[in-house]
């Protein structure tokens, strides 16, 4: 006799669950790529650069100042290759460097980093990279080299944009090193500032293939809560309705324009938020390695519910 009683659901182990909404994975360290790919994720929705750079022990600016750009490019190629290879031919979105000034001070050459009152509102992300285009150029050269070696599954994602001019400028630098954004390489932005969310139409007009919600930052900037300040940590929540309102409008505009939408902040690993995002029509979700399986199940359940709802509506005429 089965002591647990009748079952309403059967879980078939080791059977891949298919979903229309892609479920991707975030990767911060190239060494973790293999394990991340074993989850069966549909690609990498966020490949962070910061940890690779920190592991080099030398500030990227120092490579440039010492006339060693080629060494920086080589190190980046080696690191990105591990991820691109583990996931090939699935897409890997390489996010260009987003280094707040306080995080790189311990590196060799990092002693010259400015001391800012609030690094989170300061010199980081694409704004910094456009001020120091040598580092951005080295990153683009690394991506170009890998593309030439056949790793055309690598796309580029720009962090912390707040105006389309930043997107335009970054594309210009990419073209200078021989990449052709949106022609032979997928090109996108992170939506991490309320400004980007509220004017997403302008970014679409400027030209993007995808957006990804960086909800860690989007939450701090929307709620005016420094994510590193313990005194206000209790007020920090991705579940504040303002966040979903911003995300909702971006998904709507992007879906109208055929631009892909994704999420790579922590909220992409939270089942209740993922459920809302799938209902809003997001095209992919990128989660932490240990959350991929759960997120996949949530996505499958919500998709099934939406299909049933639509089918019933159709049948009712």
Which residues are near ligand PEP by CB under 6 A?
46, 48, 98, 192, 214-217, 264-265
Stretch that binds Mg ion, among 44-52, 108-116, 134-142, 188-196 (CB under 5 A): 188-196
Asked if the bond preceding 89 is cis, omega within 30° of 0, the reply is: yes
Q: Which of Mg ion, ligand PEP, none does residue 215 bind to, with CB < 5 to 8 Å depending on kind?
A: ligand PEP
**Nearest distance in Å: CB 288, ligand PEP:** 11
Q: How many CA atoms lie within 13 A of 299 on its CB side?
A: 26
> Contact with Mg ion (CB under 5 A): which of 217, 221, 269, 296?
217
Decide if residue 139 touches Mg ion (CB under 5 A).
Answer: no
**Nearest distance in Å: CB 50, ligand PEP:** 7
Rounded to 10°, the helix 215-223/241-257 angle is 130
Q: Which of Mg ion, ligand PEP, none does residue 209 bind to, with CB < 5 to 8 Å depending on kind?
A: none
Decide if residue 129 touches Mg ion (CB under 5 A).
Answer: no
Stretch that binds Mg ion, among 35-43, 144-152, 216-224, 229-237 (CB under 5 A): 216-224
| Of 21 and 269, CB closest to ligand PEP | 269
Stretch that binds Mg ion, among 84-92, 208-216, 246-254, 266-274 (CB under 5 A): 208-216
> Contact with Mg ion (CB under 5 A): which of 84, 214, 222, 298?
214
Q: Which of Mg ion, ligand PEP, none does residue 144 bind to, with CB < 5 to 8 Å depending on kind?
A: none
> Distance between CA atoms of 133 and 169, rounded to whole angstroms?
10
Q: Kindly report the number of other CB atoms within 10 A of residue 221's CB atom.
A: 21
| Of 224 and 314, CB closest to ligand PEP | 224
**Nearest distance in Å: CB 237, Mg ion:** 16
| Of 42 and 217, CB closest to Mg ion | 217
**Nearest distance in Å: CB 72, ligand PEP:** 20
**Nearest distance in Å: CB 159, ligand PEP:** 7
Decide if residue 43 touches Mg ion (CB under 5 A).
Answer: no
Stretch that binds Mg ion, among 212-220, 224-232, 256-264, 299-307 (CB under 5 A): 212-220
| Of 186 and 192, CB closest to Mg ion | 192
DSSP letter for each residue of the chain: --TT---S----TTPPPP-SSEEEEEESSGGGHHHHHTTT-SEEEEE-SHHHHHHH-B-HHHHHHTT-HHHHHHHHHHHHHHHHHHHTTSEEEEEPP---GGGSTTSBTGGGS---S-GGGSS-HHHHHHHSHHHHHHHHHHHHHHHHTT-TTEEEEE-S--SHHHHHHHHHHHHHTT--BTTTB-EEEEE-SHHHHHTHHHHHHH--SEEEE-HHHHHHHHHT--TT-GGGGGG--TTSHHHHHHHHHHHHHHHHHT-EEEE-SGGGG-HHHHHHHHHHT-SEEEE-GGGHHHHHHHHHHHHHHHHHHHHHHHHT-
Q: Which of ligand PEP, Mg ion, none does residue 28 bind to, with CB < 5 to 8 Å depending on kind?
A: none
Q: Which two tokens stand for residue 87?
A: 């996931």
| Of 99 and 259, CB closest to Mg ion | 99
Q: Kindly report the number of other CB atoms within 10 A of residue 163's CB atom.
A: 17
Q: Which two tokens stand for residue 317?
A: 């005429």
**Nearest distance in Å: CB 192, Mg ion:** 5
Interface residues toward Mg ion, by CB under 5 A: 192, 214, 217
């Amino acid at each position: 006799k089965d002591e647990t009683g009748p079952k309403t659901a059967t879980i078939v182990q080791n059977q891949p669950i298919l979903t229309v909404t892609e479920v991707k994975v975030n990767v911060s360290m190239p060494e973790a790529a293999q394990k991340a790919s074993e989850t069966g994720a549909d690609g990498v929705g966020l490949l962070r650069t910061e940890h690779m750079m920190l592991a080099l022990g030398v500030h990227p600016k120092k490579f440039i100042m010492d006339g060693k750009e080629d060494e920086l490019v080589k190190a980046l190629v080696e690191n990105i290759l591990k991820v691109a290879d583990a996931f090939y031919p699935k897409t890997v979105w390489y996010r260009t460097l987003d280094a707040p000034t306080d995080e790189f001070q311990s590196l060799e050459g990092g002693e010259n980093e400015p001391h800012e009152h609030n690094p989170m509102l300061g010199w980081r992300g694409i704004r910094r990279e456009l001020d120091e285009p040598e580092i951005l150029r080295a990153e683009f050269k690394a991506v170009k080299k890998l593309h030439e070696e056949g790793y055309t599954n690598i796309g580029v994602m720009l962090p912390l944009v707040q105006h389309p001019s930043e997107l335009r400028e970054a594309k210009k630098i990419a073209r200078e090193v021989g990449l052709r954004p949106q022609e032979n390489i997928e090109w996108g932005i992170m939506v991490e500032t309320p400004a980007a969310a509220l004017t997403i139409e302008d970014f679409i007009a400027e030209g993007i293939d995808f957006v990804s919600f960086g909800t860690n930052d989007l939450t701090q900037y929307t709620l005016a809560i420094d994510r590193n300040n313990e005194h206000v940590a209790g007020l920090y929540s991705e579940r504040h309705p303002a966040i979903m309102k911003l995300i909702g409008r971006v998904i709507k505009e992007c879906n109208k324009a055929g631009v892909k939408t994704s999420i790579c902040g922590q909220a992409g690993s939270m089942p209740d938020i993922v459920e809302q995002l799938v209902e809003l029509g997001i095209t992919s979700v990128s989660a932490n390695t240990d959350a991929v399986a759960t997120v996949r199940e949530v996505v499958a359940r919500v998709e099934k519910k939406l299909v049933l709802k639509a089918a019933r509506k159709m049948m009712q005429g």
